[in-house]
Amino acid sequence: MTFHKIFLFDFDGVIVDGMEEYWHSSLLTCEKFLNSPNITVDQKLYKKVPNTFKEIRPWVKYGWEMVLITHEIIKKENPLNNLNKDDYINQYQKNCQRILKENYWLAEDLQKKLDKTREYQIEKDFEKWVNLHNPFFEVVKFLEELKKRKIITGIITTKGKIFAEKILKKLNIFPEFIFGYESGTKIKIAEKLSQTYEILGFIEDRKKTLIEIKQNSKTSHIPCFLADWGYLKKSDRYNLNNGIELLTLENLEQIVAI
């Protein structure tokens, strides 16, 4: 039986740099929908993405976490900053859960609020919102090359599918598949795709995700590439094993010979 060939991509940090959008949308979520007594939002004051936010971003898995981090950065008392960010990072998951509990928040609700904020911006000024995303043109070119070779492309993202679609359309990218956070975990999606497609590779900037794929018996055969240009922790580039290859924008074209 001959399987169609497919190449998989993460979205944020791999196809586009959405750092400005993350911060702007998270800040707007705090301002419009969070109703927290602990913050005062000044859009002018916080127009520039804080370094603290940038440095914590590699630990983020889901969008709601960025709303939570933004809240901690802008809160009035004991804000999250460069002085205490390492303490936060060292027990990242535990701290996220603690803040949810302290504020009586649910992760699902924060995610819905972030989605609502994005919908609001798209309706109000789509061009302004979409231009907060900066594409990695080398990756766009690689996607075009795959299309010429009649290789199917699939995007698996923890962003809502509708938002990824709008950004991709603006970039004139039309993959055969787009899976948002609504579709389940990346490993489950890859597992399902591998039943009907020959997966030539998966480019992702979250090392833990690639490790999980390599440790799963049903997906361990998938060639995995860690995007050097993405939101990586300092330690991510080292001690790569389990067949995970570090990929740079410069050597991206080398895997076209597939």
- The secondary structure of 15-62, three-state, reads CEECHHHHHHHHHHHHHHCCCCCCECCCCCCCCCCCHHHHHHHHHCCC
Instruction: Supply the CATH number for residue 152's domain.
Output: 3.40.50.1000
* The last residue of a domain, from among 98, 130, 162: 130
Output DSSP code: residue 97. Answer: H
* The last residue of a domain, from among 81, 103, 130: 130
Same domain? 26 vs 109: yes
Q: pLDDT digit string (tens) for 40-60?
A: 887 666 778 999 999 999 999
| Averaged pLDDT score across all residues of the chain | 93
Same domain? 57 vs 168: no
Same domain? 74 vs 144: no
Q: pLDDT digit string (tens) for 16-46?
A: 999 999 999 999 999 999 988 888 887 666 7
Domain extent for 118: 19-130
Q: Is the pTM of this model over 0.95?
A: no
CA–CA separation, 96 and 88 (whole Å): 9
What is the phi-psi region of residue 107: left when phi exceeds 0, alpha when psi lies from -120 to 50, beta otherwise? alpha
Total domain count for the chain? 2
The alpha carbon of 169 is separated from its chain's Cα centroid by a whole number of angstroms, namely 18
- The secondary structure of 66-86, three-state, reads HHHHHHHHHECCCCCCCCCHH
CA–CA separation, 168 and 45 (whole Å): 31
Q: Identify which of 131, 188, 159, 134 has the alpha carbon closest to the alpha carbon of residue 66.
A: 159
